[in-house]
């Protein structure tokens, strides 16, 4: 049964009653009228997102079967584990840097601008891969590696620009079905994209390399009979250009989400140290959940996926053509996975869905390890069992994709989504890099073929089962639950925390709110964190102190604290913040008791609704004052807030 929708703080109350805030409200009201008259951008955003992830899925999977072909057709690749790893990880390295760089671009410059740049980069990388050449075979493959890395750079940006944007759009459509809508537009389309190159390569292999076996290169070298490998890989890379160009034209009609545009007006397209302070003060548990879950699942998925064709050929001795057929059949069946997970992720919840996925993967991995040698003797049984197991990986993947785009505020959503996914991709890079070495090291005689190779693969299954049980524990403790929770509530809680910390910092320096005449210029600010650092290291103490006071004034202006009375009240107000992870709630229950923890969580949901003009503000403040008789739950809750937030001086 679905929980009722929780809107933690439905109204933005942090804006004062001074003239600058009235101007902001006037701009927002005009924007709201225009927004209501034109909602077609949500449809274009949905189409652009779906096709963008179709392309991403294609680009990810296009190299999997080609790696098997390279190993088979080019002795240079067959004899070099390093070259195999470079071919398999080049896209991931590009994705890693794309996630880190485009997260910042999407938050500061805009989602749409980032998406257009991503499409152009993917097109460039695809051209380089298709046209790869060199004086030697090694040189040709290194050009392919560079081209694939460029493709990955654009693909990484696709995640950080697109997923936050579609999550914010889905909030406008329906909070109740936000998870399902995002899952179908992102994960399902990416899985369909994964199957597309396999279908194309099946046709190409049938024409160019039908009777090539995985072991033939060791005896025949580069010039294989009945195989023209360049036909297969050049056309595979080249056909990816067609949907890329279509997506680029669609991107022109897309638009930044309404939530992003609203926040953009408030923050002046920049970060400040207050954002970082709140993130590191309150978001660490959920960052563990968003980063390490992605790291572990990418380790497992990319290593098994990238070398899936090689493993399949090694286990059941299939030809390249038959391997393509089996991969396609598996891919079609696996499409059921994201559909099933999308249907339950809102009803069951993010955390429970992911825990179910990890429990299934870990348990079935143990079974696989136990019967691996027997499965290897029954090709059909091996294919059916592994397909059945992998369907449930999407019960992990969908929450892993969703949660980082929901739990962080709009102004840093793409950046922290990028960091979560980037550090996750490190898991994919590590997994695909070490997999061939693990396989070789764990095989009794160091040979990856024959019975020795099967024994090595079996030992890897035991290791992966342990990794998946570890993922299960982390998911249970650190994945926050945001099903049926309005993103606007999280926005207002974040802004309420900013106002409190800005007021405390300003009060500690003796800074006052900006006068109305200079409000806008002070809000833009004259100092950044690096200029403060420069003054601290190389200028006089007086210059640094003056700059710090101006910086505090800027933080007050960006929090719309325009009166001394507001500053005093926000500075005195404690911070109640429930990050919605089981770990934090358990710690809170230990420190405060069950009753105190419930009261803390209740006050956390209310935080952000109060304002100086709101009569309820005084009543809420009264609830957090220490009671006359000690030992009450109110006192414990207040002490918790005091202990964790009123040691408040932000030192720079």
Confidence bin at 97 (pLDDT 50/70/90): very high
Q: Give me the sign of the Cα torsion angle 331, 350, 50, 417.
A: negative
Q: Virtual CA dihedral for 365, 366, 370, 371, nearest 10 degrees?
A: -30
Identify whether the C-beta of residue 481 lies closer than 8 Å to the C-beta of residue 498: no
Strand partners, 6: 485
CB 174, CB 181: distance < 8 Å: yes
Asked if residue 531 has pLDDT above 90, the reply is no
Better pLDDT: 631 or 249: 249
Nearest to 563 by CA among 635, 616, 612: 612
pLDDT number for residue 285: 92
- In the structure, what pLDDT confidence band is assigned to residue 645 with cuts at 50, 70 and 90? very low
Confidence category of residue 501, pLDDT binned at 50, 70, 90: very high
Residue with tokens 């209501």: 36
Calculate the CA dihedral of residues 91, 93, 94, 97 and round it to 10 degrees.
160
What CA–CA distance (Å, rounded) separates 164 from 398?
Answer: 14
pLDDT for the residue numbered 158: 92
Tracing tokens 């102004």 back to the chain, one arrives at: 411
Q: How many CA atoms lie within 13 A of 541 on its CB side?
A: 0
Q: Give the residue-averaged pLDDT of 43-59.
A: 92
Per-residue pLDDT, 329: 81
Q: What does the pLDDT read at residue 396? A: 94
Structure-block tokens of residue 221 = 């070298």
Nearest CA to 5 among 341, 346, 407?
346
Q: What pLDDT score was predicted for residue 301?
A: 83
pLDDT at 583: 95
User: pTM of the predicted model, to two decimals?
Assistant: 0.81
**pLDDT tens string 580-631:** 999 999 999 999 999 999 999 888 888 866 543 343 333 333 343 323 234 4
Residue 624 to residues 498, 503, 575, 635, Cα–Cα distance (Å): 19, 18, 10, 7
Six-digit token pair at 297?
A: 């699942």
Model confidence pLDDT, tens digit, residues 390-433: 888 899 999 999 999 999 988 889 999 999 988 888 888 888 77
- pLDDT at residue 449 is higher than 70: no
Tell me what pLDDT residue 631 has. 43
Residue whose pair of structure tokens reads 């034109």 in the numeric block: 38
**Going by C-beta distance under 8 Å and a sequence separation of 6 or more, which residues neighbour residue 260?**
110, 111, 164, 165, 168, 410
- Considering only residues 144 and 204, tell me which one the structure prediction assigns the higher pLDDT: 144
Alpha carbon distance 580, 604 (integer Å): 10
Q: Please, which pLDDT band fits residue 446 given cuts at 50, 70 and 90?
A: low
Do 567 and 556 meet the contact criterion of CB atoms below 8 Å apart? yes
pLDDT of residue 217: 43
Q: Work out the average pLDDT over 127-147.
A: 90
Q: What is the pLDDT of residue 288?
A: 92
Residue 525 pLDDT > 80, yes or no?
Answer: no
Q: In this predicted model, what pLDDT tens digit does every residue of 351-377 receive, in sequence order? A: 999 999 999 999 998 988 888 777 777
Q: How confident is the model at residue 443 (pLDDT cuts 50, 70, 90)?
A: confident
- pLDDT surpasses 80 at 72: no
Cβ-based burial of 589 (10 A; exposed 0-12, middle 13-18, buried ≥19)? middle
Phi, psi of 89 (to 5 degrees): -105, -10
Q: What pLDDT shows up at residue 222?
A: 42
Neighbouring CB atoms inside 10 A of 192's CB total 18
Average pLDDT over residues 224-240: 82
| Mean of pLDDT values over 466-493 | 90
pLDDT at position 261 = 86
Q: Which helix (DSSP H) or strand (DSSP E) does residue 489 occupy?
A: helix 487-509
Query: Of the candidates 239, 232, 297, 234, which has an alpha carbon nearest to the alpha carbon of residue 68?
Result: 232
CATH architecture of 41-478: Up-down Bundle (1.20)
Please name the residues in contact with 613: beta carbons below 8 A apart, sequence gap of 6 or more: 17
Query: What percentage of the chain carries pLDDT values higher than 70?
Result: 79
Can you give the pLDDT at residue 129? 92
Name, of 318-327, 456-465, 495-504, the range with top average pLDDT.
495-504
Sign for the CA dihedral angle at 623, 629, 633, 636 comes to positive
User: Token pair for residue 335?
Assistant: 């499409």
Q: Is 213 helix (H, G, I), strand (E, B) or coil?
A: strand
**CB-based contact 122:151 (threshold 8 Å):** yes
Degrees to nearest 5, angle at CA 87 with 132 and 428: 140
Number of helices (H), then strands (E), belonging to the chain: the values are 31, 0
CB 228 within 8 A of CB 69: no
Provide mean pLDDT across the span 235-250.
91
Compute the chain's Rg from CA coordinates: 27
pLDDT at 451: 67
How deeply is 220 buried, as exposed, middle or buried, from its count of CB atoms within 10 A (0-12, 13-18, 19+)?
middle
What pLDDT score was predicted for residue 490?
A: 83
Q: Which DSSP helix (H) or strand (E) runs through 388? A: helix 379-391
The structural domains of the chain, with segments of one domain joined by +, span: 41-478, 487-572, 582-645
Tens of pLDDT along 155-190? 999 999 999 999 999 988 888 999 999 999 999 999
| Tokens 């505090």 sit on residue | 552
Separation between Cα atoms, residue 530 and residue 546, nearest integer Å:
15
Residues 169 and 242: their CA atoms lie apart, in Å, by 27
Angle between helices 241-251 and 229-239 (to 10 degrees): 10
Q: What is the pLDDT of residue 314?
A: 55
Checking if the pLDDT of 472 tops 70, the result is: yes
Q: What is the pLDDT of residue 186?
A: 93
pLDDT of 387 above 50: yes
Average the pLDDT over 61-85 and give the result.
81
Of 214 and 57, more confident: 57
**How far is it, in rounded angstroms, from Cα 255 to Cα 115?**
10
pLDDT band at 442 (very low <50, low <70, confident <90, very high): confident
Average pLDDT, the chain: 80
Mean pLDDT along residues 249-255 = 88
- The predicted structure's pLDDT at residue 318: 54
Question: What local confidence, expressed as pLDDT, does residue 212 receive?
Answer: 54
The band of 502, judged by pLDDT with boundaries at 50, 70 and 90, is very high
Task: Check residue 608 and give its pLDDT.
Answer: 62
């Amino acid at each position: 049964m679905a929980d009722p929708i929780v809107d933690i703080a439905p109204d933005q109350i942090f804006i004062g009653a001074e003239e600058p805030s009235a101007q902001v409200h006037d701009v927002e009201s005009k924007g709201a009228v225009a927004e209501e008259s034109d909602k077609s951008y949500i449809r274009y955003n949905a189409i652009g997102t779906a096709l963008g992830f179709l392309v991403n899925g294609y680009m990810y999977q296009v190299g999997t079967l080609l790696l098997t072909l390279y190993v088979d057709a080019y002795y240079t690749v067959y004899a070099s584990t390093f070259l195999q790893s470079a071919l398999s990880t080049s896209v991931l390295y590009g994705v890693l840097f794309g996630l880190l760089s485009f997260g910042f671009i999407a938050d500061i410059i805009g989602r749409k601008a980032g998406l257009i740049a991503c499409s152009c980069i993917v097109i460039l990388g695809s051209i380089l891969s298709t046209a790869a050449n060199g004086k030697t075979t090694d040189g040709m493959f290194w050009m392919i590696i560079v081209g694939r890395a460029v493709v990955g750079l654009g693909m990484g940006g696709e995640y950080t620009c697109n997923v936050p944007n579609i999550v914010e759009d889905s909030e406008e459509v329906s909070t109740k079905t936000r998870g399902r809508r995002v899952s179908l537009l992102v994960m399902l389309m990416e899985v369909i994209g994964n199957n597309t190159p396999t279908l194309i390569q099946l046709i190409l292999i049938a024409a160019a390399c039908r009777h090539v076996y995985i072991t033939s290169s060791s005896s025949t070298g580069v010039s294989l009979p009945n195989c023209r490998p360049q036909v297969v890989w050049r056309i595979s890379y080249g056909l990816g250009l067609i949907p890329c160009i279509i997506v680029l034209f669609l991107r022109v009609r897309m638009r930044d989400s309404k939530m992003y545009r609203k926040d953009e007006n408030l923050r002046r397209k920049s970060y400040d140290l207050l954002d970082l302070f709140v993130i590191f003060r309150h978001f660490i548990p959920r960052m563990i959940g968003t980063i390490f879950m992605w790291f572990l699942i990418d380790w497992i998925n990319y290593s098994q996926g990238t070398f899936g064709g090689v493993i399949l050929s090694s286990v059941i001795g299939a030809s390249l053509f038959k391997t393509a057929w089996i991969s396609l059949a598996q891919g079609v069946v696996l499409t059921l996975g994201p559909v099933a997970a999308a249907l339950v992720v809102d009803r069951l919840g993010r955390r429970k869905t992911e825990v179910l996925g990890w429990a299934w993967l870990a348990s079935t991995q143990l079974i696989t390890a136990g019967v691996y040698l027997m499965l290897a003797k029954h090709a059909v049984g091996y294919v059916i069992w592994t397909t059945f197991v992998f369907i449930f990986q999407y019960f992990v993947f969908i929450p892993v994709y969703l949660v980082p785009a929901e739990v962080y505020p709009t102004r840093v959503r793409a950046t922290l989504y990028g960091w979560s996914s980037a550090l996750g991709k490190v898991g994919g890079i590590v997994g695909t890099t070490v997999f061939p070495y693990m396989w070789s090291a764990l095989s009794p005689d160091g040979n990856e073929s024959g019975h020795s190779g099967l024994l090595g693969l079996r030992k890897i299954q035991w290791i992966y089962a342990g990794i998946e049980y570890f993922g299960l524990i982390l998911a249970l403790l650190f994945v926050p639950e945001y099903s049926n929770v309005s993103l606007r509530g999280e926005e207002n809680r974040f802004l309420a925390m900013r106002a409190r910390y800005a007021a405390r910092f300003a009060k500690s320096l003796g800074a006052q709110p900006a006068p109305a005449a200079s409000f806008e210029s002070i809000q833009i600010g004259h100092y950044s964190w690096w200029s403060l650092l420069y003054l601290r290291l190389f200028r006089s103490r007086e210059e640094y102190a003056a700059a710090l006071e101006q910086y505090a004034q800027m933080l007050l202006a960006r929090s719309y604290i325009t009166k001394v009375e507001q500053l005093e009240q926000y500075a005195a107000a404690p911070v109640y913040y429930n990050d919605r992870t089981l770990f934090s709630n358990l710690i809170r229950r230990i420190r405060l008791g069950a009753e105190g923890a419930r009261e803390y969580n209740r006050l956390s949901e209310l935080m952000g609704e109060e304002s100086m003009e709101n009569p309820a503000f005084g009543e809420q403040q009264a609830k957090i004052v220490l009671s006359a008789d000690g030992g009450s739950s109110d006192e414990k809750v207040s002490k918790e807030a005091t202990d964790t937030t009123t040691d408040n001086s932000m030192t720079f």
